[in-house]
């Protein structure tokens, strides 16, 4: 497994990198890569199950605030990616028989990494993501079609979470969001958290 830290990158460039790596994985030219990054400029993405009704502000206002809107091939509803949020994309070989194990392993890794910051989370099958009480700290959304995965998780680290006021997060009305900074009062960076999460995956090329 390769691990690559992309730093701050726009959504379209990161998507292109994922697609190119997916082709390499399918063609047997790569064993798969985990990409660590944050998206800048910020974006709102709509998954395969998303309706635009869960974007609760006008596109003009969203644009004024600096957010762009994209339709994504991942599952799930609508979410936000913004600076200060750690996004982890998994472009990995995929066996249809092991899809559930693949997702569970990722959930376990993120949960264990959050325990390093004394944050205990709960995974909710009916509302996919990692939760701290009634607030979501990590959203999940994968494209698991074919022989290689794409997309992954978005972990709130030190982002303002302003973008979540523009949407119904993951289509779940009445729920809140939180971050590592909010839970710990630590001044913390996505780079630091990326290194923590990375340590729970097998070593590979960096």
Beta bridge partner(s), residue 180: none
Each residue's pLDDT tens digit, 166-193: 887 655 545 689 999 999 999 999 999 9
Of the candidates 57, 138, 158, 170, the residue annotated as catalytic is: 170
- φ, ψ at 7 (rounded to 5°): 70, -145
Q: Which domains does the chain have, with CATH numbers?
A: 2-198 (3.30.930.10)
With cut-offs at 50, 70 and 90, classify the pLDDT of residue 16: very high
Active-site residue, 170 included: yes
Say what the pLDDT of residue 188 is: 95
pTM to 2 decimal places: 0.93
- Could you count the other beta carbons within 10 Å of the beta carbon of residue 101? 10
Of 44, 69, 87, 43, nearest in space to 194 by CA: 87
In what helix (H) or strand (E) does residue 104 lie, and over which residues does it extend?
Answer: helix 99-115
C-alpha 165 chain-centroid distance: 18
What is the percentage of the chain residues whose pLDDT exceeds 90? Answer: 71
């Amino acid at each position: 497994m390769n691990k690559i830290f992309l730093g701050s990158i726009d959504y379209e460039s990161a998507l292109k990198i994922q697609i190119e790596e997916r082709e390499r994985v399918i063609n047997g030219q790569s064993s798969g890569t985990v990409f660590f990054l944050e998206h800048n400029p910020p974006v709102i993405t709509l998954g395969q199950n998303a309706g635009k009704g869960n974007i609760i502000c006008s596109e003009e206002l969203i644009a004024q605030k600096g957010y762009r809107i994209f339709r994504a091939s991942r599952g799930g509803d609508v979410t936000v990616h913004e600076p200060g949020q750690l996004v982890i994309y998994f472009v990995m070989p995929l066996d249809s028989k092991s899809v559930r194990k693949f997702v569970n392993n990722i959930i376990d890794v993120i949960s264990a990494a959050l325990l390093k910051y004394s944050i205990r989370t709960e995974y909710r099958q009916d509302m996919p993501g990692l939760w701290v009480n009634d607030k979501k700290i990590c959203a999940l959304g994968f494209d698991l079609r074919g022989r290689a995965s794409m997309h992954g998780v978005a972990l709130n680290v030190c982002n303002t979470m302003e973008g979540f006021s523009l949407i119904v997060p993951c289509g779940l009305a009445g729920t809140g969001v939180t971050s590592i900074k909010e839970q710990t009062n630590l001044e913390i960076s996505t780079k630091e958290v990326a290194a923590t999460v990375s340590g729970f995956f097998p070593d590979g090329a960096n």
